[in-house]
């Protein structure tokens, strides 16, 4: 069985499997990743998917706002098993994004913008 779902105004995803539960899982994951249709900081609707790689070959997955006055980022974590992605919406236990308590929800549904004056994510 093959199912298509419009997850954002300009994004249609396709899931395929013999089992309905697997199709549902695929659609749920794709909707969570590709269903972002506007910046959580400024509301801009033009977003770019970005994959960065550091010198250790670690990859970082982000969704970036293209508004030059904003440039906020929504970061994605990667599951150790299966390699699935998920939006980072809570303060991390290991690497603080905003100096909040681990497990606290980030403001703006996880969208962060670096402020060079304060040298902090806001």
Distance between CA atoms of residues 48 and 64, nearest Å: 5
Where do the DSSP E strands lie in the chain? 2-8, 11-16, 47-53, 59-65, 73-78, 85-87, 111-112, 114-115, 120-121
pLDDT at 94: 67
Q: What is the pLDDT of residue 83?
A: 83
Whole-angstrom distance, CA of residue 122 vs CA of residue 63 = 16
| pTM greater than 0.75 (yes/no) | yes
- Domain residue extents for the chain: 1-35, 38-121
* Tens-binned pLDDT, residue by residue, of the chain (122 aa): 999 999 988 899 999 999 999 999 999 999 999 999 999 999 999 999 999 999 999 999 999 999 999 999 999 999 888 888 999 998 887 666 777 788 888 889 999 998 888 888 88
């Amino acid at each position: 069985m093959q199912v298509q779902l419009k997850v954002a105004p300009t994004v249609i995803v396709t899931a395929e499997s013999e089992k309905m539960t697997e199709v549902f899982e695929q659609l749920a994951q794709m909707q969570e990743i590709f269903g972002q249709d506007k910046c959580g900081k400024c509301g801009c609707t033009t977003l770019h998917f970005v994959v960065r790689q550091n010198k250790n070959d670690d990859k970082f997955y982000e969704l970036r706002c293209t508004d030059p006055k904003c440039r906020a980022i929504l970061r994605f974590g990667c599951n150790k098993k299966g390699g699935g992605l998920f939006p980072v919406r809570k303060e991390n236990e290991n690497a603080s994004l905003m100096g909040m308590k681990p497990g606290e929800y980030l403001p703006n549904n996880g969208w962060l913008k670096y402020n060079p004056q304060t040298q902090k994510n806001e």
